[in-house]
Amino acid sequence: MLDVRNIRSGYGKALAIEDVTFTLGASESLAILGRNGAGKSTTLKTLMGMTPAWQGRIGFKGNDIVKLSSDAIARAGIGYVPEERRIFESLSVTENLQTGEKAGASGDAPWTVARVFDLFPEIARRSTAPAGTLSGGERQMLAVGRALMGNPDLLLLDEPSEGLAPVVVNRLGDALSELRRAGIAILISEQNRRLARLAAENVVIMETGRIAYRGTFSELDRNPEITARLLGV
Amino acid sequence: MGFYFAQFLTGLASASSLFLVAAGLSIIFGVTRIVNFAHGSLFMLGAFIAYSISQQFGFWVAVPLAALSVGAIGWVMERTVLSRLYGAPELFQLVATFGLVLIVQDAALWIWGPTDLLGPRAPGLTGVVRIFDQPVPEYDLFLITVGFSVLGAIWWMFTRTRFGILVRAATEDREMLQALGVRPARLFQATFFIGAALAGLGGALEMPRQPVSLLMDLNIIAEAFVVVVIGGMGSVTGAFLAALLIAELNAFGILILPEITLVAAFAAMAVVLVIRPYGLLGKQATTAPHAVEIQPPQTLGEAGRLAAAVLVAALFVLPIIAGDFVIVLTADIMIFALFAAGLHFMMGTGGLVSFGHAAFFGIGAYAAALLVERAGIGMEAALILAPVAAAIGAAIIGWFAVRLSGVYLAMLTLAAAQILWSASVQWQDITGGDDGILGIWPAAWASGTTAYYYLTLALTTVGIVSLMMLASGRFGILLRAGRDAPARAQALGIDIKLRNWAAIVIAGSAAGLAGGIFAFSKGSVFPDTLAIPNSVDALVMVLLGGLHAPAGPILGASVFALLEDSLSRLPYWRALLGTAVVGIAVFAPGGIAGSLSGWLKRRRERSA
Ligand SMILES: Nc1ncnc2c1ncn2[C@@H]1O[C@H](COP(=O)(O)OP(=O)(O)O)[C@@H](O)[C@H]1O
Ligand SMILES: [Mg+2]
């Protein structure tokens, strides 16, 4: 479904990622691990068309989306949950969900406000509150829910566990497992390996803008020296 | 008691139109981040179009149709010009909408002619009702109802429709909204349509209250800027409150001292900005500013210095070979080069945009004239005090402006210039009103075309060279640091606000000196030294010459003066000027000097 080949991107004249290549099948999921500044967010933003790719190809469901604007990429069926969440603080929780509302690429729209509230009862209770008053965990749920409202085939999640308490991370992990069962492909960038493992079976590790390792979590468990070298744990 | 209540209602009625215009301006800014200077032009078009339609179909058909037509015109403006500028630096967006003002001015002049038109009154609402024994026009009550209804309608749209929710979301973070699949182009078009239609409605509804005239655009835009700044950019409720405040200030201020009503509005804005820098209900914009590349310093090279020396030498010998006409034209060019050089200094080096630079030019000119005329001071002292007076004016305006972002500075300076212009027209006892102040002649030793030419040459050369040295020296470096990398400059302990303030004061005093020299060269001062077209001229000179070229203002002033000399004989030359301004902003942001050096560089690269 997603076929990323040799993308290179950066900010102004400064290179941030180079030679990034990976693929992801329908309903599959992949975690990108890496230290701060490794290039995880830049990779996701480049997929989303928010930082321009200087070079390379991004195939999505057979089409090259590398030149498309971010709204067209979203409409092609990719949902994006940014690292900073970027919820609309002055809008209510329900209104935030409505901003993401659109039919999926295939034309049907299984996700509704009610279904998001089923998945995240925590924010259902706050439906009329301004989103600016939500806690960190609730904001993250709202950001995920907002992306789901666009009925994506692929969900990009940028360090969803950042700054969240362990209980909330578990809650999020459960929700992501449920989404996987519903057939949504997931590409998640994480520093928290536990959540990454709940959300994905395959993994790539980035280091200084390049992919330094690719494999599965079980493989990674058998080779602690890799994690020690690339993740410093 | 009854009288004051009636006066209060008059204020409310005036607030309605002002609110309609300001709300549209604010919504457009919220979504597109563009300050639409042409918004007053849309208001004016609303009045003119409504006038034409009403001749055929009557008032009640004319008003809604005019609003819709103006909405469509706004949509066309967005499609043809502004949509090309969403990625451009703020300055060029501002300048392009300014170009549109000029184009609309001449279009209206061409279609409806120069005389004021008296529109029809609203059938069914021509009477008065008695409230507390005071006569209140029915139409005023109708306007008040319209104001509240529109506020209600906008509130409904913002909270109950998907479009409204998207508008609010875009006001917060439009990049994120786009990443959710919302097409920005459609949202922007719809926003422009609605904002323009509101302005058109406001203009159409003014028909029974004031004659339809070509002055409506700049008068309302200055006031609408004050309202939007007080209310908070992007906040409709804020615009409503601020429109009420300003309109009531006007309604009651006129009872106390008619001449100061505009000044009172400005003072109100000043007070609000000191207490709440982003306006009553405004928030600091969260979107990051455009990443600008740090520009190399503006210094004249060896060749440039040589050219400058040759130029001064040529100007020195000019009176020996040229006739009076050429000498006067050249002196005018030098005065405008100094005027433009100050603006170029603050805009190019400081990144501070002034749309009312004529304010400082006019202060200088009026200060010189008043000192000579009323205080009996000699020319020499007047020429020293003219830039001082302008510097004081710049210090006051700049003090508020540096606290805010670039668009506020542009809006504030424009509003200030427009207020000073009104004061110069209205305050007849002091300024002579439209008749101006006459008989401001130079001292005996400097009188005569050639003698005054040499004085002009000496003063403008000193002024321009000082500005160039400041720009390329330490002060200029720090100013540029504040412009390109404010966070880093702040971290290094540079007081950016203080530098920017100083830059505005310096630019203002250069304009004031130019104004003073100008007053003595013409022997008179008129309100048009303070008027918007004079500000636009300076702006065009700077852009034409090139914002980041040291010789820009000289080149720009020369080309502009020659163009004006030939073009101003054409009937619709302001529209041509406006088209040129839009063209520069869209196609040649580097100006003449920038395009020239870019072309030379490409040639050199090709041959290498
Ligand atoms: N907005 C930005 N402007 C300039 N450089 C950036 C920006 N965002 C990230 N970078 C740089 O790009 C590199 C990769 O960053 P990022 O993709 O955010 O890494 P990660 O998400 O893995 O922490 C880093 O060197 C970082 O400093
Ligand atoms: Mg990151």
How far CA B498 is from CA of A177, B390, B475, in Å, comes to: 56, 18, 11
* Share of residues in chain A with pLDDT > 90 (%): 79
Residue whose Cα lies nearest atom 27 of ligand 1: it is A37
Local confidence band at A61 (pLDDT 50, 70, 90 cut-offs): very high
Q: Ligand 1: which atom is nearest the Cα of residue A42?
A: 17
Local confidence band at B134 (pLDDT 50, 70, 90 cut-offs): confident
- The answer to whether B39 and B199 have CB atoms below 8 angstroms apart is yes
Residues B188-194: what's their mean pLDDT? 94
Q: Ligand 1: which atom is nearest the Cα of residue A35?
A: 22
**What confidence score (pLDDT) does residue A40 get?**
95
Residue B161 sits at the chain A interface (C-beta within 8 Å): no
Distance (Å, whole) CA B42 – CA B78: 13
**What confidence score (pLDDT) does residue B435 get?**
83
pLDDT single digits (tens) B137-162: 888 899 999 999 999 999 999 999 99
List % helix, strand, coil for chain B (3-state, nearest 5). Answer: 75, 0, 20
Local confidence band at B289 (pLDDT 50, 70, 90 cut-offs): very low
Q: Report how far ligand 2's centroid is from the alpha carbon of A31 (Å).
A: 13
Cβ–Cβ gap A71/B178 under 8 Å: yes
Residues A191-206: what's their mean pLDDT? 89
Task: Please tell me the total count of domains within chain A.
Answer: 1
Beta bridge partners of B128: B137
A91 closest CB neighbour out of B168, B178, B293: B168
**What confidence score (pLDDT) does residue B292 get?**
44
Q: Report how far ligand 2's centroid is from the alpha carbon of A46 (Å).
A: 12
- The answer to whether B10 and B141 have CB atoms below 8 angstroms apart is no
Dihedral-angle region of residue B133 (phi above 0 means left; psi in -120 to 50 means alpha; beta otherwise)? left
Q: Measured between beta carbons, which residues in chain A are less than 8 angstroms from residue B175?
A: 50, 70
A50 closest CB neighbour out of B173, B175, B291: B175
Q: Measured between beta carbons, which residues in chain B are less than 8 angstroms from residue A50?
A: 175, 179
pLDDT single digits (tens) B404-436: 666 777 778 888 888 888 888 888 777 887 888
Dihedral-angle region of residue B260 (phi above 0 means left; psi in -120 to 50 means alpha; beta otherwise)? alpha
Domain around A217 = 2-231
Position with higher pLDDT, B379 vs A186:
A186
Q: Measured between beta carbons, which residues in chain A are less than 8 angstroms from residue B176?
A: 82, 86, 88
- How close does chain A come to B491, measured CA to CA in Å? 22
Residues A94-120: what's their mean pLDDT? 92
Q: Report how far ligand 2's centroid is from the alpha carbon of A158 (Å).
A: 7
Cβ–Cβ gap B179/A99 under 8 Å: no
B169 closest CB neighbour out of A74, A88, A147: A88
> Residue B296 above 60 pLDDT?
no
- ipTM at complex level: 0.95
pLDDT single digits (tens) B369-407: 988 888 888 888 888 889 999 999 999 888 877 776 667
- Which ligand is nearest to the Cα of residue A206, counting in written order? 1
Position with higher pLDDT, B117 vs B571:
B117
Distance (Å, whole) CA B117 – CA B110: 14
B165 closest CB neighbour out of A82, A89, A98: A98
Q: Measured between beta carbons, which residues in chain A are less than 8 angstroms from residue B181?
A: 71, 74-75, 100, 102, 150
Q: Which three-class secondary structure state does DSSP give residue B132?
A: coil
Q: Measured between beta carbons, which residues in chain B are less than 8 angstroms from residue A146?
A: 180
Residue of A47, A50, A60, A71 to mutate when probing chain B, most B C-beta within 10 A = A71
Q: Which residue has the tokens 């209600």?
A: B152
**What confidence score (pLDDT) does residue B285 get?**
53
**Residues found in chain A:** 233
> Residue A195 above 60 pLDDT?
yes
**What confidence score (pLDDT) does residue B146 get?**
93
Residues B528-534: what's their mean pLDDT? 86
Residue B160 sits at the chain A interface (C-beta within 8 Å): no
Beta-sheet pairing, B134-137 with B437-438: unpaired
Residue whose Cα lies nearest atom 26 of ligand 1: it is A37
Diameter over CA atoms, chain B: 87
Mean pLDDT over all residues of chain A? 92
- Which ligand is nearest to the Cα of residue A40, counting in written order? 1
Cβ–Cβ gap B183/A71 under 8 Å: yes
Distance (Å, whole) CA B177 – CA A168: 26
Residue whose Cα lies nearest atom 14 of ligand 1: it is A39
Binding-face residues of B in 270-309 toward A, CB within 8 A = 291, 293
Residues B283-310: what's their mean pLDDT? 61
> Residue B293 above 60 pLDDT?
no
Q: What is the H or E stretch that residue A139 is in? A: helix A136-148
Residues 6+ apart with CB under 8 A from B360: B342, B390, B393, B394, B507, B508, B509, B511, B512, B515
> Residue A94 above 80 pLDDT?
yes
Distance (Å, whole) CA B270 – CA A62: 58
Cβ–Cβ gap B180/A150 under 8 Å: yes
Poorest-pLDDT segment among A105-119, B258-272, B503-517 = B258-272
> Residue B599 above 80 pLDDT?
no
Local confidence band at B593 (pLDDT 50, 70, 90 cut-offs): low
* Share of residues in chain A with pLDDT > 70 (%): 100
Residues B452-469: what's their mean pLDDT? 88
Interface residues from chain A to B (CB-CB < 8 Å): 11-12, 48, 50, 69-71, 73-75, 80, 82, 86, 88-91, 95-96, 98-102, 146-147, 150
Distance (Å, whole) CA B470 – CA B341: 12
Mean pLDDT over all residues of chain B? 84
Residues B165-192: what's their mean pLDDT? 92
- How close does chain A come to B170, measured CA to CA in Å? 9
Cβ–Cβ gap A12/B178 under 8 Å: no
Domain assignments of chain B as residue spans, ordered by start: 2-214, 321-530
CATH of the domain at A20: 3.40.50.300
Tokens of A211: 């992919």
**What confidence score (pLDDT) does residue B260 get?**
64
Residue whose Cα lies nearest atom 6 of ligand 1: it is A11
Residue of A nearest to B174 (CA): A88
> Residue B262 above 70 pLDDT?
no
pLDDT single digits (tens) B62-121: 999 999 999 999 999 999 888 888 877 777 787 788 889 989 999 999 999 888 988 888
Phi, psi dihedral angles at B315 (to 5 degrees): -65, -30
Q: Measured between beta carbons, which residues in chain B are less than 8 angstroms from residue A157?
A: none
- The answer to whether B383 and B332 have CB atoms below 8 angstroms apart is no
> Residue B194 above 70 pLDDT?
yes
> Residue A156 above 90 pLDDT?
yes
Distance (Å, whole) CA A131 – CA A113: 15
> Residue A92 above 70 pLDDT?
yes
Cβ–Cβ gap B180/A89 under 8 Å: no
Local confidence band at A233 (pLDDT 50, 70, 90 cut-offs): low
Q: In sequence order, what DSSP letters do the residues of B486-534 get, joined into one string?
A: HHHHHHTT--HHHHHHHHHHHHHHHHHHHHHHHHHHHTEE-GGGTSHHH
Residue whose Cα lies nearest atom 12 of ligand 1: it is A16
Q: Report how far ligand 2's centroid is from the alpha carbon of A127 (Å).
A: 29
**What confidence score (pLDDT) does residue B175 get?**
92
**What confidence score (pLDDT) does residue B300 get?**
66
Binding-face residues of B in 183-202 toward A, CB within 8 A = 183-184
Residues with Cβ within 6 A of ligand 1?
Answer: A 11, 14, 16, 34, 36-42
